[in-house]
């Protein structure tokens, strides 16, 4: 048992922040929150006083590509499909080389830690050895992650097309190595419909059914992509249905990234099947994909998380994604002449913490029983004029950065800085 004292700020519900000025939070030896309140509990264990600092839930990034780490901030002069062919696939081919994979993945895991992202859902590549290495690095760091061995067998360079049997065996090998009890686990990862043949999708659907493993993929990101999916899967009534036919659309817990152009039918299917949208506003801007309307998903009762989508997204901090989620929603608000309400700060913060955290269990806020995933924020250089706590969290979100994060906890453990360079 340990207890921390600080200004506690979280969003158990999206509508408003909960502020506990000079509050206390106790964490069991199992890493679960056992107390939160304004007074020191009777059974407090060792008490650490963080003084005037803020203690907030850690961030959860539900969509990003580890092998694209080298390309962050690069190559954004093309839309999705030519961008994949020209920049992304050639980079991912390099991960056949385990030394290269170690170099990039070591930095990638370090950066997640640096940015305060304690849990993530990650695409690796089709290369099993490199993906096992990535999972290893996650385990060594203490960070939580769903690690996806990417499945693809068409419309990509030869080096990135694998056999369905390899995909099947690979995910099973990853799952066997990681198990289902730790914080790093396997996730079934068809890249997207254009990359996966009918055979491959059938195989992955069986795998999901047999293992119960979760699924992640891309959905309705770009208009050209959607046209292509219609050509490739002419019987599917919508892009989402193309996954659904194979049992890859909510039959097990499922993340679908982007959803910029989800129509009413797809929306209905997502709702019915409990599919979670991962909104990636930085990437949607950078690749000129368009503007997904988060409000529409929320109004339809669909679960929403946020993702950096590195390297379509140009920055690995969830702070930026919160900013862009709000700003994109304000463009919808402006274009609808005020009819579509924009996201409030607490709503967007909720999406970046609890919205994504729920995919990992009880993660993302400080309610009792939750895993203690938290960041200690020193915003003293921003707080030069007696700002209120609501002002301090807003300023940290908009103008703070990794420099302000002083301690990082995942499931109750304070995580030391992982190696940046192999």
Residue 75 CB, shortest distance to its own copies, in Å, is 8
Q: Of 205 and 281, which CB lies nearer to its own copies in the complex structure?
A: 281
Under 8 Å CB-to-CB from 316, ≥6 apart: which residues?
61, 64, 72, 111, 112, 115, 117, 308, 310
Q: Of 70 and 245, which CB lies nearer to its own copies in the complex structure?
A: 70
Q: Of 228 and 333, which CB lies nearer to its own copies in the complex structure?
A: 333
For residue 150, what is the enclosing H or E element?
Answer: strand 150-151
Helix (H, G, I), strand (E, B) or coil at 155: coil
Enter the DSSP assignment of 382.
T
The neighbouring-strand residues paired with 65 are 123
Nearest to 327 by CA among 282, 367, 363: 282
Q: Of 243 and 396, which CB lies nearer to its own copies in the complex structure?
A: 396
Q: Which long-range contacts (CB under 8 A, 24 or more apart) does 24-29 make?
A: 25/55, 25/366, 25/372, 25/374, 26/1, 26/2, 27/1, 27/2, 27/3, 27/372, 27/412, 28/1, 28/412, 29/1, 29/412
Residue written as tokens 């938290």? Answer: 374
d(CA 213, CA 206): 11
Nearest to 70 by CA among 26, 25, 125, 33: 125
Residue 294 CB, shortest distance to its own copies, in Å, is 15
- For residue 60, the Cα-to-chain-centroid distance in whole angstroms is 5
Under 8 Å CB-to-CB from 296, ≥6 apart: which residues?
262, 267, 340
Residue 98 CB, shortest distance to its own copies, in Å, is 16
Residue 285 CB, shortest distance to its own copies, in Å, is 4
Q: Of 76 and 207, which CB lies nearer to its own copies in the complex structure?
A: 76
d(CA 99, CA 110): 17
d(CA 357, CA 359): 5
Chain residues binding its own copies by CB under 8 A are 70, 72-74, 76-77, 103, 107, 223, 285-291, 314-315, 323, 326-327, 330-331, 333-335, 337, 342, 344-345, 382, 384-385, 391, 394-399, 401, 403, 421
Q: Of 253 and 281, which CB lies nearer to its own copies in the complex structure?
A: 281
Residue 399 CB, shortest distance to its own copies, in Å, is 4
Q: Is 168 left (phi over 0), alpha (psi -120 to 50) or beta?
A: alpha
204 token code pair: 């992955």
Q: Of 44 and 389, which CB lies nearer to its own copies in the complex structure?
A: 389
Residue 72 CB, shortest distance to its own copies, in Å, is 6
Beta carbons of 113 and 418 less than 8 angstroms apart: yes
- For residue 380, the Cα-to-chain-centroid distance in whole angstroms is 29
d(CA 401, CA 139): 25
Q: Of 26 and 284, which CB lies nearer to its own copies in the complex structure?
A: 284
Q: Of 261 and 297, which CB lies nearer to its own copies in the complex structure?
A: 261
Q: Of 108 and 366, which CB lies nearer to its own copies in the complex structure?
A: 108
Residue 73 CB, shortest distance to its own copies, in Å, is 3
């Amino acid at each position: 048992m340990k207890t921390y004292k600080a200004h506690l700020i979280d969003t158990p519900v999206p509508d408003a922040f909960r502020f506990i000025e000079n509050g206390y939070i106790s964490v069991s030896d199992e890493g679960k929150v056992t107390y939160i309140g304004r007074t020191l509990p009777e059974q407090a264990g060792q008490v650490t006083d963080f003084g005037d600092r803020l203690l907030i839930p850690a961030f959860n990034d539900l969509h990003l590509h580890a092998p694209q780490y080298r390309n962050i901030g690069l190559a954004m002069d093309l839309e999705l499909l030519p961008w994949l062919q020209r920049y992304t696939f050639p980079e991912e081919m390099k991960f056949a080389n385990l030394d290269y994979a170690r170099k990039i993945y070591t930095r990638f895991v370090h950066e997640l830690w640096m940015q305060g992202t304690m849990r993530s859902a990650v695409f690796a590549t089709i290369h099993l050895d490199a993906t096992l290495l990535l999972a290893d690095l996650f385990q060594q760091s203490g960070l939580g992650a769903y690690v996806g061995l990417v499945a693809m067998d068409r419309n990509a360079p030869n080096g990135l097309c694998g056999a369905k049997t390899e995909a099947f065996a690979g995910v099973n090998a990853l799952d066997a190595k990681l198990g289902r009890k730790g914080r790093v686990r396997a996730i079934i990862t068809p890249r997207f419909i254009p990359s996966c043949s009918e055979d491959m999708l059938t195989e992955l659907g069986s795998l999901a059914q047999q293992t119960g493993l979760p699924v992640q993929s891309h959905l309705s990101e770009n208009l050209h992509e959607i046209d292509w999916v219609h050509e490739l899967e002419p019987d599917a009534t919508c892009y989402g249905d193309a996954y659904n036919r194979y049992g890859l659309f909510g039959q097990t817990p499922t993340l679908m990234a982007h959803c910029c152009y989800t129509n009413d039918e797809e929306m209905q299917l997502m709702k019915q099947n409990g599919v979670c949208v991962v909104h990636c506003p930085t990437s949607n801007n950078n690749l000129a994909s368009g503007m997904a309307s988060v409000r529409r998903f929320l109004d339809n009762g669909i679960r929403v998380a946020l993702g950096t989508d590195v390297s379509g997204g140009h920055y690995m901090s969830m702070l930026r994604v919160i900013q862009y989620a709000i700003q994109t929603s304000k463009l919808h608000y402006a274009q609808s002449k005020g009819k579509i309400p924009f996201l409030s700060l607490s709503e967007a913060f909720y999406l970046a913490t609890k919205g994504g955290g729920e995919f990992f269990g009880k993660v993302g806020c400080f309610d009792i029983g939750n895993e203690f995933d938290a960041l200690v924020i020193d915003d003293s250089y921003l707080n030069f004029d007696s700002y209120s706590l609501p002002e301090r969290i807003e300023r940290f979100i908009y103008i703070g950065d990794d420099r302000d994060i002083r301690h990082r906890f995942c499931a109750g453990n304070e995580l030391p800085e992982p190696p940046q360079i192999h």
